[in-house]
Structure 1
Amino acid sequence: RNVARYAGLVTDPRVAVVRVDGPLYFANAQLLEDTLAGLAENRSSLQALVLDASAIGDADADGAHALEQLRERLA
């Protein structure tokens, strides 16, 4: 959800929380990986990237592979 929707929310520039709303599969897996890696690369203060996957109802092998690749890229 967008941070602007929550009045008084305290944020920390060292942490980013990203929620994925929908399935993670071959058609969007690479986009997710590239987007999150780009976020991490462009925010020098970022120390933690939290992926809220509670709304990912389904994932295929490409989606799982993208998460593995992302973990390796950000390690």
Structure 2
Amino acid sequence: MRIVRLLLTFFGALLALVGLLWMGQGSGYFPYPASSFMIDQSPWIIRGALVALVGLAMIFAGRRLIR
């Protein structure tokens, strides 16, 4: 059970970071690489927020629900 908690927390944190990256690129605050198709595209803000929320839910599940 401990390995499941660790994996959920790890992959949840990874998803949350990817979601934040997508939100940053979609809003134009993180324009790297400069030729990215995601820069200043509002759908990526929404997609990033959804991915970040899934990541946070995985962290919550790994830390609280599975004991």
Structure 1 and Structure 2 fold alike (TM over 0.5) = no
The alignment's TM-score, normalised by the length of structure 1, stands at 0.26
Q: Which has the higher strand share?
A: 1
Greater C-alpha radius of gyration = 2
Q: Which has the higher helix share?
A: 2
